[in-house]
Structure 1
Amino acid sequence: MTTELLLAVGIPAAYLLISTSLLLCRHKTLPPFLLRLSARKAIAWNTMVGLSIAVGALRWATSR
């Protein structure tokens, strides 16, 4: 169970850290579709976080 939890949390966290560091190292602006999303008030971010948690929980529940 701990290995599954580590994979479920570790992979998205690693992806987030790597993509953020790449954007910061290259000193480039965000792509246009990300600029549109960042202009909104975190609705897209909260929705995607909620969906990823729900999908992870559903996947874990169905595998048992």
Structure 2
Amino acid sequence: MTTELLLALGIPAAYLVVSTLLLVQRPQTLPPLLQRLSTRRAIAWNTMVGLSIGVGHCDGH
């Protein structure tokens, strides 16, 4: 169970850290849609929270 928990939490956390570091280093390379969203912090935040909730509840049932 410990291995599964480590994988379930570690992989998304590592992906989040790596992708955040890449975006911070190169903010000018964002696609136009993401650049527009990044100027409106509340919209980007709410969109990402909504997506993660939606993806988290898709368990195939």
Cα root mean square deviation, aligned: 2.5
TM-score, with normalisation over the residues of structure 1? 0.60
How far is 1:25 from its partner? 1.9
1:51 aligns with 2:54: yes
Over 3 Å counting, the alpha-carbon distance change for 1:24 and 1:41 in structure 2 is closer
Gaps of 5+ in 1: 60-64
TM-score, with normalisation over the residues of structure 2? 0.61
Runs of 4+ aligned structure 1 residues displaced above 6 Å come to none
Query: Bigger relative contact order, structure 1 or 2, given CA contacts below 8 A and separation 6+?
Result: 1
Gaps of 5+ in 2: none
